[in-house]
Structure 1
Amino acid sequence: MPIHNLLNDLPAAGAEEAFHTLLRQPGVKIERIVSFGQASPPGYWFDQPDGEWVLLLAGEAKLLFEDEGVPRDLRPGDWLDIAPHRRHRVDWTDPEQPTVWLAVHYSHLP
Structure 2
Amino acid sequence: MRVALFATPQRANTVAFSVPVWGIEDGFLVRPGNHRALSSYPSIAECPDARLGIIAGPVQHDSAVASGVTEEQNVIVGQQADAIAAVLSGAIDGYASTALGNRIVASGMGSR
Fold similarity call, TM over 0.5: no
For the pair shown, the structure with the greater C-alpha radius of gyration is 2
| Larger helix fraction of residues | 2
TM-score, length-scaled by structure 1: 0.29
